């Protein structure tokens, strides 16, 4: 749980003195896990948020000059409080760029909410959750995603899309090369999930909002027009030509 009084050491861990052994030892923080849930990440101060930068980019943690590897596979899932702005700290662009996707869940559909009530009527389903995959299997799936071929035509489409975001009147700060790489990787994953031999432009379009929307800083013109980042991504998609071989 991220809170305003959270310190970087509360995330990464710290060096402590072991009185029994009369020596210093490293006490790992909660970041040393395969799946880290940063709940309400925007309630923590920028200094605490920054503790995730190295972890998410290098898969390592450096404390007191010593760099330690994180366990693989390693994922960070963060939630934000979208309603309350008092006492929250928006994530900086550098950290937002390290998140592969951003999903906006909103309210569930009526039938889904009824299912939720039924599932929790007597006990919480999380108490009976069982693992369906282990670490090596997740790493193997990642290898399969990376092995999915991507044509030069699709790569060109991705680069033209992200390049347009860097030079568009509705965008003050466009997608970085991380955005291009994220588009390709998620399109590969989407194709694999749907039994396709390789991603096409349609797969890139299907994932573009989730991959790019949090990476764009909108211009005053876009804000004055009442556009959000997802609407701007849709505008970019409509302006990038799909080349037919």
Are residues 144 and 240 located together in one domain of the fold?
yes
What's the pLDDT score for residue 22?
79
Domain for residue 183, yes or no? yes
∠ CA 216-49-186, nearest 5°, is 45
Domain at 58, CATH number: 3.40.50.300
What's the pLDDT score for residue 84?
60
Domain for residue 108, yes or no? no
Domain at 215, CATH number: 1.10.8.80
Are residues 147 and 235 located together in one domain of the fold?
yes
What's the pLDDT score for residue 139?
96
What's the pLDDT score for residue 137?
96
Domain for residue 180, yes or no? yes
User: In which residue ranges of the chain is pLDDT below 50?
Assistant: none
Domain for residue 129, yes or no? no
What's the pLDDT score for residue 1?
87
Q: Which of 71, 91, 111 is the last residue of a domain?
A: 91
β-strand pairing of 60-63 with 23-28:
unpaired
Distance of CA 96 to the CA centre of its chain: 8
Question: Could you list the residue range(s) of the whole structural domain that residue 48 is in?
Answer: 1-91
Tokens of 42: 């925007």
Are residues 77 and 15 located together in one domain of the fold?
yes
Domain for residue 110, yes or no? no
Number of domains in the chain: 2
Are residues 147 and 240 located together in one domain of the fold?
yes
Are residues 10 and 62 located together in one domain of the fold?
yes
pTM of the shown model: 0.88
């Amino acid at each position: 749980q991220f809170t305003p009084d959270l310190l970087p050491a509360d995330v990464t861990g710290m060096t402590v003195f072991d009185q029994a052994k009369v020596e210093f030892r490293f006490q790992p923080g909660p970041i040393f896990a395969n799946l880290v849930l940063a709940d309400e990440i925007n309630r923590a101060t920028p200094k605490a948020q920054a503790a995730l930068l190295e972890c998410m980019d290098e898969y390592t943690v450096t404390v007191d000059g010593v760099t330690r590897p994180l366990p693989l596979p390693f994922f960070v899932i963060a939630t934000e409080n979208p309603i309350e702005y008092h006492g929250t700290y928006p994530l900086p662009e550098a950290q937002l760029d390290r998140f592969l996707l951003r999903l906006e869940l909103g309210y569930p559909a009526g039938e889904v909410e009824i299912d939720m009530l039924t599932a929790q009527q007597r006990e919480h389903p999380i108490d009976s959750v069982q693992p369906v995959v282990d670490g090596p299997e997740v790493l193997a799936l990642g290898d399969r995603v990376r092995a999915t071929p991507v044509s030069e035509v699709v790569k060109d489409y991705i680069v033209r899309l992200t390049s347009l975001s860097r030079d568009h009147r509705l965008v003050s700060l466009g997608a970085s090369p991380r955005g291009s790489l994220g588009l390709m990787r998620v399109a590969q994953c989407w194709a694999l999930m749907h039994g396709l031999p390789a991603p096409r432009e349609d797969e890139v379009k299907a994932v573009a909002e989730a991959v790019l929307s949090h990476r764009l800083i909108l211009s005053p013109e876009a804000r004055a027009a009442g556009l959000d980042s997802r609407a701007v991504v849709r505008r970019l998609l409509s302006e990038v030509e799909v080349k037919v071989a």
